[in-house]
Structure 1
Amino acid sequence: MFDLQIPPPSALEPPAAAISAPSWDLTVGLIAATVQLDQRNGDAATRRVGTGFLIDAPRPDGQPRTVLVTAHHVLDGMPDPDARIGWRVETPDGGWRFAPEPLRIREETGEPVWTRHPERDIAVMEVSAPPAFARAAIPLGWLAEAGSLDAWQVGPGDELLTLGYPRGYSSNTAGFPILRAGRVASWPLTPISRFPVFLLDFPVFPGNSGGPVFWTPTARKLPGTVEPEHPFIAGVLVSEVRPGDEPLGIGIVAHAAYVREAIALLDAPAGP
Protein backbone atom coordinates (compact mmCIF):
# COMPACT_ATOMS: atom_id res chain seq x y z
CA MET A 1 0.00 0.00 0.00
CA PHE A 2 1.17 3.51 -0.70
CA ASP A 3 0.79 6.92 0.89
CA LEU A 4 1.79 9.00 -2.09
CA GLN A 5 2.84 12.59 -1.56
CA ILE A 6 4.28 14.19 -4.67
CA PRO A 7 4.13 17.53 -6.42
CA PRO A 8 1.77 17.66 -9.40
CA PRO A 9 3.69 16.63 -12.56
CA SER A 10 4.13 19.07 -15.35
CA ALA A 11 3.70 17.42 -17.99
CA LEU A 12 -18.69 -13.55 -20.42
CA GLU A 13 -17.74 -13.03 -24.19
CA PRO A 14 -15.85 -10.28 -25.95
CA PRO A 15 -17.32 -8.42 -28.93
CA ALA A 16 -16.57 -10.12 -32.24
CA ALA A 17 -14.89 -6.94 -33.51
CA ALA A 18 -12.45 -7.08 -30.62
CA ILE A 19 -11.33 -10.60 -31.52
CA SER A 20 -10.39 -9.56 -35.04
CA ALA A 21 -8.77 -6.24 -34.12
CA PRO A 22 -4.97 -5.84 -34.33
CA SER A 23 -3.25 -6.51 -31.00
CA TRP A 24 -2.09 -2.91 -30.69
CA ASP A 25 -5.73 -1.82 -31.04
CA LEU A 26 -6.65 -4.07 -28.12
CA THR A 27 -3.86 -2.59 -26.03
CA VAL A 28 -4.97 0.92 -26.96
CA GLY A 29 -8.49 -0.05 -25.91
CA LEU A 30 -7.26 -0.85 -22.42
CA ILE A 31 -5.28 2.40 -22.37
CA ALA A 32 -8.47 4.28 -23.25
CA ALA A 33 -10.31 2.67 -20.32
CA THR A 34 -7.64 3.55 -17.72
CA VAL A 35 -7.80 6.80 -15.74
CA GLN A 36 -5.88 8.70 -13.12
CA LEU A 37 -7.41 9.22 -9.68
CA ASP A 38 -6.06 11.91 -7.39
CA GLN A 39 -6.80 14.15 -4.43
CA ARG A 40 -4.77 17.01 -3.03
CA ASN A 41 -3.34 16.56 0.43
CA GLY A 42 -3.93 19.05 3.23
CA ASP A 43 -0.81 21.05 2.35
CA ALA A 44 -2.29 21.69 -1.14
CA ALA A 45 1.19 21.30 -2.63
CA THR A 46 1.16 17.51 -2.89
CA ARG A 47 -1.44 14.99 -3.89
CA ARG A 48 -2.30 11.35 -3.54
CA VAL A 49 -2.48 9.51 -6.86
CA GLY A 50 -3.76 6.13 -7.93
CA THR A 51 -4.97 4.34 -11.03
CA GLY A 52 -8.41 3.07 -11.98
CA PHE A 53 -10.01 1.41 -14.98
CA LEU A 54 -13.53 1.17 -16.35
CA ILE A 55 -15.63 -1.97 -16.80
CA ASP A 56 -18.85 -2.21 -18.78
CA ALA A 57 -20.99 -4.11 -16.26
CA PRO A 58 -24.71 -3.93 -17.12
CA ARG A 59 -27.23 -4.15 -14.30
CA PRO A 60 -29.20 -7.40 -13.89
CA ASP A 61 -32.08 -5.86 -15.86
CA GLY A 62 -29.75 -5.15 -18.78
CA GLN A 63 -29.46 -1.40 -18.22
CA PRO A 64 -25.99 -0.10 -19.08
CA ARG A 65 -23.61 0.71 -16.25
CA THR A 66 -19.98 1.85 -16.13
CA VAL A 67 -18.02 0.68 -13.10
CA LEU A 68 -14.73 2.13 -11.88
CA VAL A 69 -12.27 -0.43 -10.49
CA THR A 70 -9.26 0.44 -8.35
CA ALA A 71 -7.45 -0.68 -5.19
CA HIS A 72 -9.42 -0.07 -2.01
CA HIS A 73 -6.49 1.67 -0.32
CA VAL A 74 -6.34 4.26 -3.11
CA LEU A 75 -9.80 5.60 -2.25
CA ASP A 76 -9.54 4.86 1.45
CA GLY A 77 -6.48 7.09 1.65
CA MET A 78 -8.36 10.07 0.19
CA PRO A 79 -10.19 11.66 3.16
CA ASP A 80 -12.13 14.41 1.36
CA PRO A 81 -15.58 13.82 -0.16
CA ASP A 82 -14.38 14.55 -3.70
CA ALA A 83 -11.43 13.13 -5.59
CA ARG A 84 -10.64 13.83 -9.24
CA ILE A 85 -10.98 11.42 -12.13
CA GLY A 86 -8.80 12.13 -15.14
CA TRP A 87 -11.05 12.18 -18.17
CA ARG A 88 -9.44 13.02 -21.52
CA VAL A 89 -11.05 14.89 -24.42
CA GLU A 90 -10.13 14.60 -28.09
CA THR A 91 -9.75 18.02 -29.70
CA PRO A 92 -10.85 19.01 -33.22
CA ASP A 93 -7.24 19.12 -34.44
CA GLY A 94 -6.72 15.45 -33.57
CA GLY A 95 -5.00 16.12 -30.27
CA TRP A 96 -6.07 15.40 -26.72
CA ARG A 97 -6.36 17.40 -23.53
CA PHE A 98 -6.54 16.39 -19.90
CA ALA A 99 -9.99 17.21 -18.51
CA PRO A 100 -10.28 15.97 -14.90
CA GLU A 101 -13.58 16.30 -13.07
CA PRO A 102 -14.65 15.88 -9.44
CA LEU A 103 -15.59 12.37 -8.40
CA ARG A 104 -17.69 11.99 -5.25
CA ILE A 105 -16.15 9.18 -3.22
CA ARG A 106 -17.61 9.89 0.24
CA GLU A 107 -20.88 11.02 1.69
CA GLU A 108 -20.85 14.18 3.79
CA THR A 109 -20.86 11.88 6.81
CA GLY A 110 -17.56 10.39 5.60
CA GLU A 111 -19.07 7.06 4.58
CA PRO A 112 -17.51 5.68 1.39
CA VAL A 113 -19.50 5.67 -1.83
CA TRP A 114 -17.49 2.79 -3.21
CA THR A 115 -17.99 -0.92 -2.48
CA ARG A 116 -15.06 -2.87 -1.11
CA HIS A 117 -14.40 -6.54 -1.64
CA PRO A 118 -14.75 -8.06 1.84
CA GLU A 119 -11.34 -9.77 1.75
CA ARG A 120 -9.23 -8.15 -0.98
CA ASP A 121 -7.79 -4.71 -1.62
CA ILE A 122 -10.28 -4.02 -4.42
CA ALA A 123 -12.90 -1.26 -4.69
CA VAL A 124 -15.63 -0.72 -7.28
CA MET A 125 -18.18 2.04 -7.79
CA GLU A 126 -20.63 3.07 -10.46
CA VAL A 127 -19.59 6.27 -12.24
CA SER A 128 -21.25 8.63 -14.66
CA ALA A 129 -18.69 8.57 -17.43
CA PRO A 130 -18.57 10.81 -20.51
CA PRO A 131 -19.97 8.95 -23.53
CA ALA A 132 -16.51 8.31 -25.01
CA PHE A 133 -15.35 6.68 -21.80
CA ALA A 134 -18.55 4.69 -21.38
CA ARG A 135 -17.92 3.26 -24.86
CA ALA A 136 -14.27 2.58 -23.97
CA ALA A 137 -15.15 0.58 -20.82
CA ILE A 138 -13.81 -2.97 -20.98
CA PRO A 139 -16.39 -5.78 -21.35
CA LEU A 140 -17.09 -7.66 -18.14
CA GLY A 141 -16.22 -10.85 -20.01
CA TRP A 142 -12.59 -9.75 -20.25
CA LEU A 143 -12.16 -10.15 -16.49
CA ALA A 144 -10.52 -13.51 -15.86
CA GLU A 145 -12.57 -15.97 -13.82
CA ALA A 146 -11.24 -18.25 -11.09
CA GLY A 147 -10.24 -20.97 -13.57
CA SER A 148 -9.20 -18.80 -16.51
CA LEU A 149 -5.46 -18.73 -15.84
CA ASP A 150 -5.37 -22.53 -15.78
CA ALA A 151 -7.45 -22.78 -18.97
CA TRP A 152 -5.12 -20.34 -20.74
CA GLN A 153 -1.98 -21.93 -19.29
CA VAL A 154 -0.73 -18.74 -17.69
CA GLY A 155 2.30 -19.43 -15.54
CA PRO A 156 5.78 -18.31 -14.46
CA GLY A 157 7.63 -16.40 -17.14
CA ASP A 158 4.55 -15.33 -19.08
CA GLU A 159 4.51 -11.63 -19.83
CA LEU A 160 1.64 -9.43 -18.71
CA LEU A 161 1.11 -5.72 -19.30
CA THR A 162 0.07 -3.10 -16.78
CA LEU A 163 -1.10 0.51 -16.93
CA GLY A 164 -0.68 3.20 -14.34
CA TYR A 165 0.61 6.55 -13.19
CA PRO A 166 3.94 5.84 -11.45
CA ARG A 167 4.74 8.68 -9.04
CA GLY A 168 1.83 10.55 -10.59
CA TYR A 169 3.35 10.79 -14.05
CA SER A 170 1.43 10.13 -17.23
CA SER A 171 2.73 9.34 -20.69
CA ASN A 172 1.95 12.87 -21.89
CA THR A 173 0.14 16.07 -20.94
CA ALA A 174 -3.18 14.55 -22.08
CA GLY A 175 -3.14 12.24 -19.06
CA PHE A 176 -2.81 8.86 -20.78
CA PRO A 177 -1.39 6.12 -18.54
CA ILE A 178 2.07 4.64 -18.88
CA LEU A 179 2.21 1.11 -20.30
CA ARG A 180 4.72 -1.28 -18.79
CA ALA A 181 5.41 -5.01 -18.88
CA GLY A 182 6.48 -7.67 -16.40
CA ARG A 183 6.67 -11.43 -16.10
CA VAL A 184 4.69 -13.66 -13.80
CA ALA A 185 7.09 -14.29 -10.93
CA SER A 186 5.30 -16.76 -8.66
CA TRP A 187 3.92 -20.29 -8.68
CA PRO A 188 1.35 -21.70 -8.23
CA LEU A 189 -1.22 -19.10 -9.28
CA THR A 190 -4.26 -21.24 -8.50
CA PRO A 191 -6.51 -22.21 -6.86
CA ILE A 192 -7.16 -18.59 -6.04
CA SER A 193 -8.79 -19.61 -2.74
CA ARG A 194 -5.29 -20.63 -1.63
CA PHE A 195 -3.32 -18.11 -3.68
CA PRO A 196 -5.45 -14.93 -3.89
CA VAL A 197 -2.56 -12.86 -5.24
CA PHE A 198 0.38 -13.50 -7.54
CA LEU A 199 3.67 -11.72 -8.20
CA LEU A 200 4.71 -9.74 -11.27
CA ASP A 201 8.35 -8.94 -11.93
CA PHE A 202 8.41 -5.19 -12.56
CA PRO A 203 9.29 -2.11 -10.46
CA VAL A 204 6.23 -0.69 -8.69
CA PHE A 205 5.91 2.95 -7.71
CA PRO A 206 3.34 4.99 -5.78
CA GLY A 207 0.57 5.78 -8.26
CA ASN A 208 0.55 2.33 -9.86
CA SER A 209 -1.95 0.97 -7.33
CA GLY A 210 -5.31 0.06 -8.84
CA GLY A 211 -4.04 -0.39 -12.38
CA PRO A 212 -5.11 -3.32 -14.58
CA VAL A 213 -2.73 -6.21 -15.18
CA PHE A 214 -3.67 -7.77 -18.49
CA TRP A 215 -2.76 -9.81 -21.53
CA THR A 216 -3.19 -8.99 -25.21
CA PRO A 217 -1.36 -10.58 -28.16
CA THR A 218 1.19 -7.77 -27.77
CA ALA A 219 2.49 -9.61 -24.69
CA ARG A 220 4.64 -12.69 -25.08
CA LYS A 221 3.64 -16.18 -23.95
CA LEU A 222 5.93 -19.13 -23.48
CA PRO A 223 6.21 -21.40 -26.55
CA GLY A 224 3.85 -24.33 -26.60
CA THR A 225 1.22 -22.78 -24.34
CA VAL A 226 -2.36 -21.89 -25.23
CA GLU A 227 -2.96 -18.41 -26.61
CA PRO A 228 -6.32 -17.02 -25.44
CA GLU A 229 -8.89 -16.05 -28.06
CA HIS A 230 -9.30 -12.54 -26.65
CA PRO A 231 -7.55 -10.14 -24.28
CA PHE A 232 -8.15 -10.59 -20.58
CA ILE A 233 -7.54 -8.72 -17.36
CA ALA A 234 -5.66 -11.04 -15.02
CA GLY A 235 -5.89 -8.83 -11.97
CA VAL A 236 -5.39 -5.51 -10.21
CA LEU A 237 -2.03 -4.17 -9.03
CA VAL A 238 -2.51 -3.68 -5.28
CA SER A 239 0.96 -3.40 -3.74
CA GLU A 240 4.63 -4.32 -3.99
CA VAL A 241 7.03 -6.64 -2.22
CA ARG A 242 9.02 -4.41 0.13
CA PRO A 243 10.93 -5.99 3.01
CA GLY A 244 11.53 -3.01 5.28
CA ASP A 245 12.50 0.01 3.22
CA GLU A 246 14.05 -1.99 0.38
CA PRO A 247 11.92 -2.38 -2.77
CA LEU A 248 12.46 -5.61 -4.67
CA GLY A 249 10.92 -4.49 -7.95
CA ILE A 250 8.07 -7.01 -7.66
CA GLY A 251 4.38 -6.17 -7.80
CA ILE A 252 1.52 -7.91 -5.98
CA VAL A 253 -1.56 -8.58 -8.12
CA ALA A 254 -5.02 -9.54 -6.83
CA HIS A 255 -6.86 -11.92 -9.15
CA ALA A 256 -9.54 -10.44 -11.43
CA ALA A 257 -12.10 -12.93 -10.14
CA TYR A 258 -12.30 -10.76 -7.01
CA VAL A 259 -13.23 -7.78 -9.19
CA ARG A 260 -16.13 -9.87 -10.52
CA GLU A 261 -17.17 -10.62 -6.94
CA ALA A 262 -16.96 -6.95 -5.94
CA ILE A 263 -19.09 -5.89 -8.93
CA ALA A 264 -21.66 -8.54 -7.98
CA LEU A 265 -21.92 -6.88 -4.56
CA LEU A 266 -23.21 -3.73 -6.28
CA ASP A 267 -26.37 -5.68 -7.06
CA ALA A 268 -26.67 -7.46 -3.73
CA PRO A 269 -29.73 -6.56 -1.62
CA ALA A 270 -29.00 -3.99 1.04
CA GLY A 271 -28.70 -5.35 4.55
CA PRO A 272 -31.24 -4.60 7.28
Structure 2
Amino acid sequence: MVMDLAVELIHATVQLEQPLGDGTRTVGTGFLIATAGPDGQPRTVLVTANHVLEKMPGANARIGYRIANPDGSWSYSPQQLKIRDKDGHELWTHHPNRDVAAITIKAPPEFAKAALPLNYLAADDTFDKEQVTAGDEMMALGFPRGLSANSAGFPILRSGKVASYPVAPAKIFPTFLLDFSVFPGNSGGPVFVSHPVKGEPGVTQVADKAPEKGDSGFIAGLLTQQVELNSERLEIGIVTHAKYVRETIALMQNPLAPQTVAEGMTAVSGGRTASAEEAARD
Protein backbone atom coordinates (compact mmCIF):
# COMPACT_ATOMS: atom_id res chain seq x y z
CA MET A 1 0.00 0.00 0.00
CA VAL A 2 1.39 3.40 -1.00
CA MET A 3 0.64 6.38 1.22
CA ASP A 4 1.62 10.04 1.13
CA LEU A 5 4.43 10.84 3.58
CA ALA A 6 3.18 14.40 4.10
CA VAL A 7 -0.28 13.11 5.04
CA GLU A 8 1.21 10.50 7.37
CA LEU A 9 3.20 13.19 9.16
CA ILE A 10 0.17 15.47 9.30
CA HIS A 11 -1.62 12.73 11.25
CA ALA A 12 1.41 12.30 13.53
CA THR A 13 1.81 16.04 14.30
CA VAL A 14 0.01 17.62 17.26
CA GLN A 15 -0.44 21.00 18.87
CA LEU A 16 0.91 21.45 22.40
CA GLU A 17 -0.41 24.21 24.60
CA GLN A 18 -0.72 25.42 28.17
CA PRO A 19 -2.99 28.28 29.30
CA LEU A 20 -1.06 30.80 31.40
CA GLY A 21 -4.05 32.04 33.41
CA ASP A 22 -4.00 35.58 32.04
CA GLY A 23 -5.94 34.87 28.88
CA THR A 24 -2.80 33.88 26.96
CA ARG A 25 -1.25 30.49 26.28
CA THR A 26 2.06 28.95 25.36
CA VAL A 27 1.85 26.99 22.12
CA GLY A 28 4.22 24.66 20.31
CA THR A 29 4.26 21.70 17.95
CA GLY A 30 5.19 18.07 18.49
CA PHE A 31 5.16 14.84 16.50
CA LEU A 32 4.81 11.18 17.40
CA ILE A 33 7.43 8.47 16.94
CA ALA A 34 6.83 4.76 17.55
CA THR A 35 9.71 2.89 19.17
CA ALA A 36 10.43 0.21 21.76
CA GLY A 37 10.73 0.91 25.47
CA PRO A 38 13.40 -0.43 27.84
CA ASP A 39 11.27 -3.57 28.30
CA GLY A 40 11.08 -4.11 24.55
CA GLN A 41 7.39 -3.25 24.42
CA PRO A 42 6.17 -0.70 21.87
CA ARG A 43 5.67 2.85 23.07
CA THR A 44 4.65 6.20 21.64
CA VAL A 45 7.08 9.08 22.06
CA LEU A 46 6.21 12.74 21.66
CA VAL A 47 9.07 14.80 20.21
CA THR A 48 9.24 18.58 20.41
CA ALA A 49 11.68 21.41 21.06
CA ASN A 50 12.92 21.47 24.65
CA HIS A 51 12.11 25.17 25.05
CA VAL A 52 8.45 24.49 24.23
CA LEU A 53 8.06 22.41 27.40
CA GLU A 54 10.41 24.57 29.46
CA LYS A 55 8.20 27.61 28.82
CA MET A 56 5.16 25.77 30.23
CA PRO A 57 5.33 26.40 33.99
CA GLY A 58 2.38 24.19 34.96
CA ALA A 59 2.35 20.46 35.60
CA ASN A 60 0.02 19.66 32.70
CA ALA A 61 0.04 20.63 29.06
CA ARG A 62 -2.66 19.88 26.52
CA ILE A 63 -1.99 17.69 23.51
CA GLY A 64 -4.31 18.19 20.54
CA TYR A 65 -5.65 14.81 19.53
CA ARG A 66 -8.07 14.49 16.63
CA ILE A 67 -10.85 11.92 16.37
CA ALA A 68 -12.26 10.60 13.09
CA ASN A 69 -16.05 10.43 13.08
CA PRO A 70 -18.16 7.82 11.23
CA ASP A 71 -19.50 10.46 8.82
CA GLY A 72 -16.01 11.38 7.62
CA SER A 73 -15.69 14.50 9.77
CA TRP A 74 -13.08 15.08 12.45
CA SER A 75 -13.35 16.38 16.02
CA TYR A 76 -10.63 18.19 17.94
CA SER A 77 -10.18 16.55 21.34
CA PRO A 78 -7.27 17.97 23.36
CA GLN A 79 -6.29 15.94 26.42
CA GLN A 80 -4.09 16.53 29.44
CA LEU A 81 -0.43 15.55 29.27
CA LYS A 82 1.49 15.50 32.54
CA ILE A 83 4.90 17.11 31.99
CA ARG A 84 5.99 17.74 35.61
CA ASP A 85 5.62 15.79 38.85
CA LYS A 86 4.13 17.17 42.06
CA ASP A 87 7.49 18.70 42.99
CA GLY A 88 7.80 20.48 39.65
CA HIS A 89 10.47 18.18 38.23
CA GLU A 90 10.52 17.65 34.47
CA LEU A 91 9.09 14.34 33.27
CA TRP A 92 10.54 14.64 29.80
CA THR A 93 14.04 13.84 28.55
CA HIS A 94 16.04 16.54 26.81
CA HIS A 95 19.25 16.46 24.86
CA PRO A 96 22.13 17.95 26.86
CA ASN A 97 23.47 20.00 23.96
CA ARG A 98 20.58 20.70 21.57
CA ASP A 99 17.02 22.03 21.83
CA VAL A 100 15.26 18.66 21.63
CA ALA A 101 12.86 16.97 24.07
CA ALA A 102 11.01 13.66 24.14
CA ILE A 103 8.42 12.15 26.48
CA THR A 104 6.54 8.86 26.50
CA ILE A 105 2.78 9.34 26.17
CA LYS A 106 -0.31 7.15 26.34
CA ALA A 107 -2.14 8.21 23.22
CA PRO A 108 -5.59 6.93 22.28
CA PRO A 109 -5.11 3.67 20.31
CA GLU A 110 -6.38 5.16 17.05
CA PHE A 111 -3.97 8.07 17.44
CA ALA A 112 -1.00 5.96 18.51
CA LYS A 113 -1.28 4.23 15.13
CA ALA A 114 -0.32 7.53 13.49
CA ALA A 115 3.15 7.51 15.11
CA LEU A 116 5.93 7.01 12.58
CA PRO A 117 8.67 4.40 13.08
CA LEU A 118 12.03 5.51 14.43
CA ASN A 119 13.76 4.70 11.14
CA TYR A 120 12.02 7.65 9.46
CA LEU A 121 14.40 9.91 11.39
CA ALA A 122 17.47 10.78 9.33
CA ALA A 123 20.59 8.94 10.47
CA ASP A 124 24.23 10.03 10.38
CA ASP A 125 24.67 9.14 6.73
CA THR A 126 21.22 10.06 5.37
CA PHE A 127 22.10 13.56 4.14
CA ASP A 128 25.13 12.24 2.28
CA LYS A 129 23.26 9.30 0.73
CA GLU A 130 20.38 11.55 -0.29
CA GLN A 131 22.79 14.25 -1.51
CA VAL A 132 20.97 16.95 0.47
CA THR A 133 22.41 20.39 -0.21
CA ALA A 134 21.61 24.09 -0.36
CA GLY A 135 18.52 24.89 -2.46
CA ASP A 136 16.76 21.58 -1.85
CA GLU A 137 13.12 21.89 -0.85
CA MET A 138 11.85 20.58 2.45
CA MET A 139 8.42 20.68 4.09
CA ALA A 140 7.53 21.68 7.63
CA LEU A 141 4.45 21.17 9.80
CA GLY A 142 3.33 23.35 12.67
CA PHE A 143 0.84 25.64 14.34
CA PRO A 144 2.02 29.23 13.69
CA ARG A 145 0.75 31.46 16.49
CA GLY A 146 -1.43 28.56 17.61
CA LEU A 147 -3.40 28.42 14.37
CA SER A 148 -4.40 25.11 12.83
CA ALA A 149 -5.41 24.35 9.25
CA ASN A 150 -9.06 23.88 10.27
CA SER A 151 -11.37 23.34 13.23
CA ALA A 152 -10.29 19.69 13.41
CA GLY A 153 -6.87 20.82 14.65
CA PHE A 154 -4.68 19.60 11.79
CA PRO A 155 -1.27 21.30 11.40
CA ILE A 156 -0.41 23.75 8.65
CA LEU A 157 1.96 22.46 5.96
CA ARG A 158 4.63 24.85 4.70
CA SER A 159 7.71 24.47 2.54
CA GLY A 160 11.04 26.18 2.05
CA LYS A 161 14.47 25.69 0.60
CA VAL A 162 17.60 24.73 2.49
CA ALA A 163 19.28 28.10 2.98
CA SER A 164 22.70 27.15 4.33
CA TYR A 165 25.77 25.24 3.26
CA PRO A 166 27.16 22.79 4.27
CA VAL A 167 24.36 20.87 5.94
CA ALA A 168 26.34 17.81 7.04
CA PRO A 169 27.85 16.11 8.94
CA ALA A 170 25.59 16.83 11.92
CA LYS A 171 28.42 16.58 14.44
CA ILE A 172 30.00 19.66 12.81
CA PHE A 173 26.83 21.40 11.57
CA PRO A 174 24.15 20.39 14.12
CA THR A 175 21.62 22.79 12.60
CA PHE A 176 20.80 24.13 9.15
CA LEU A 177 18.69 26.99 7.82
CA LEU A 178 15.35 26.75 6.02
CA ASP A 179 14.02 29.68 4.00
CA PHE A 180 10.43 30.11 5.15
CA SER A 181 8.42 32.29 7.53
CA VAL A 182 8.54 31.03 11.10
CA PHE A 183 6.24 32.11 13.92
CA PRO A 184 5.83 31.28 17.60
CA GLY A 185 3.99 27.97 17.69
CA ASN A 186 6.06 26.41 14.90
CA SER A 187 8.77 25.29 17.31
CA GLY A 188 9.09 21.52 17.61
CA GLY A 189 7.47 20.72 14.28
CA PRO A 190 8.95 18.13 11.92
CA VAL A 191 10.93 19.16 8.84
CA PHE A 192 10.99 16.46 6.20
CA VAL A 193 11.74 15.37 2.64
CA SER A 194 9.39 13.29 0.50
CA HIS A 195 10.34 11.36 -2.61
CA PRO A 196 8.06 11.19 -5.66
CA VAL A 197 6.57 7.86 -6.66
CA LYS A 198 8.03 6.70 -9.96
CA GLY A 199 5.57 7.42 -12.73
CA GLU A 200 3.51 9.77 -10.55
CA PRO A 201 5.17 13.21 -10.50
CA GLY A 202 4.51 15.20 -7.37
CA VAL A 203 3.17 12.28 -5.35
CA THR A 204 5.17 11.12 -2.36
CA GLN A 205 4.99 7.85 -0.60
CA VAL A 206 5.67 5.66 2.38
CA ALA A 207 5.37 1.94 1.95
CA ASP A 208 3.40 0.31 4.79
CA LYS A 209 5.22 2.56 7.29
CA ALA A 210 8.34 0.38 7.00
CA PRO A 211 10.67 2.21 4.62
CA GLU A 212 13.78 0.90 3.03
CA LYS A 213 16.57 3.44 3.20
CA GLY A 214 16.06 6.19 0.66
CA ASP A 215 12.84 4.89 -0.89
CA SER A 216 10.20 7.21 0.50
CA GLY A 217 11.67 10.19 2.27
CA PHE A 218 12.74 11.01 5.79
CA ILE A 219 12.38 13.39 8.71
CA ALA A 220 15.38 15.71 8.41
CA GLY A 221 14.96 17.35 11.81
CA LEU A 222 12.73 19.59 13.87
CA LEU A 223 12.26 23.33 13.77
CA THR A 224 13.72 24.95 16.87
CA GLN A 225 14.05 28.70 16.25
CA GLN A 226 13.33 31.67 14.03
CA VAL A 227 15.96 34.22 13.09
CA GLU A 228 15.59 37.88 14.06
CA LEU A 229 18.08 40.70 13.82
CA ASN A 230 17.43 44.00 15.57
CA SER A 231 13.78 42.96 16.10
CA GLU A 232 13.36 42.28 12.38
CA ARG A 233 12.14 38.84 11.35
CA LEU A 234 14.33 37.47 8.58
CA GLU A 235 11.89 34.69 7.59
CA ILE A 236 14.50 32.02 8.24
CA GLY A 237 14.03 28.94 10.40
CA ILE A 238 16.70 26.95 12.20
CA VAL A 239 16.34 23.18 11.97
CA THR A 240 18.07 20.81 14.39
CA HIS A 241 19.25 17.59 12.74
CA ALA A 242 17.20 14.45 13.36
CA LYS A 243 20.38 12.82 14.64
CA TYR A 244 19.78 14.65 17.92
CA VAL A 245 16.18 13.43 18.07
CA ARG A 246 17.50 9.88 17.78
CA GLU A 247 19.99 10.56 20.57
CA THR A 248 17.30 12.05 22.82
CA ILE A 249 15.07 9.00 22.36
CA ALA A 250 18.08 6.77 23.13
CA LEU A 251 18.62 8.72 26.36
CA MET A 252 15.07 7.86 27.44
CA GLN A 253 16.07 4.21 27.45
CA ASN A 254 19.63 4.63 28.66
CA PRO A 255 20.71 7.86 30.39
CA LEU A 256 24.31 6.92 29.62
CA ALA A 257 23.74 6.60 25.88
CA PRO A 258 26.37 8.54 23.88
CA GLN A 259 25.55 12.04 22.73
CA THR A 260 27.18 14.12 20.03
CA VAL A 261 28.91 17.34 20.96
CA ALA A 262 29.23 19.54 17.89
CA GLU A 263 32.84 19.84 16.80
CA GLY A 264 34.36 23.20 16.02
CA MET A 265 36.45 23.75 12.89
CA THR A 266 40.01 24.97 13.09
CA ALA A 267 39.93 28.70 12.39
CA VAL A 268 42.53 31.33 11.61
CA SER A 269 43.29 33.43 14.66
CA GLY A 270 41.09 36.52 14.73
CA GLY A 271 38.58 35.16 12.22
CA ARG A 272 34.96 35.86 13.17
CA THR A 273 31.55 35.93 11.49
CA ALA A 274 28.05 36.60 12.76
CA SER A 275 25.87 33.49 12.45
CA ALA A 276 22.13 33.21 12.00
CA GLU A 277 21.94 30.78 14.90
CA GLU A 278 23.35 33.39 17.27
CA ALA A 279 20.67 35.85 16.11
CA ALA A 280 17.84 33.33 16.52
CA ARG A 281 14.76 33.82 18.64
CA ASP A 282 12.41 31.17 20.01
Query: What's the TM-score, normalizing by structure 2?
Result: 0.83
Q: How does 1:1-272 map to 2 (within 5 A)?
A: 17=1, 21-22=2-3, 25-43=4-22, 45-217=23-195, 228-268=214-254
Moved over 3 A (4+): none
Q: Deviations over 1:138-165 (max 9, x none)?
A: 1100000122111100111110000000
Q: Cα 1:94–1:112, aligned 2, differ >3 Å: closer, same or farther?
A: same
The Cα of 1:34 is off from its aligned counterpart by: 0.2
Identity of aligned residues (%): 57
The Cα of 1:41 is off from its aligned counterpart by: 1.1
Tell me which protein shows more strand as a share of its residues.
2
For 1:118 and 1:81, locate their aligned partners in 2 and report how far apart those are by CA, in whole Å.
Answer: 22
Secondary structure in 2 aligned to 1:75?
helix
Q: Deviations over 1:22-53 (max 9, x none)?
A: 4xx2211100000000000131x111100000
Structure 2 unaligned blocks of 5 or more: 203-212, 257-282
Equivalent pairs counted in the alignment come to 243
For 1:240 and 1:249, locate their aligned partners in 2 and report how far apart those are by CA, in whole Å.
Answer: 7
Structure 1 unaligned blocks of 5 or more: 1-16, 221-226
The Cα of 1:117 is off from its aligned counterpart by: 0.3
2:104 is aligned with what amino acid?
E
The Cα of 1:78 is off from its aligned counterpart by: 0.1
Q: Cα 1:269–1:160, aligned 2, differ >3 Å: closer, same or farther?
A: closer
The Cα of 1:61 is off from its aligned counterpart by: 4.3
Contact 2:9 2:116 in 1 (8 A): yes
2:47 is aligned with what amino acid?
V
The alignment yields a C-alpha RMSD, in angstroms, of: 1.7
The Cα of 1:217 is off from its aligned counterpart by: 2.6
1:119 is aligned with what amino acid?
N
Q: Deviations over 1:52-111 (max 9, x none)?
A: 000001125431110000000000000000000000001121100100000000111111
For 1:244 and 1:47, locate their aligned partners in 2 and report how far apart those are by CA, in whole Å.
Answer: 25
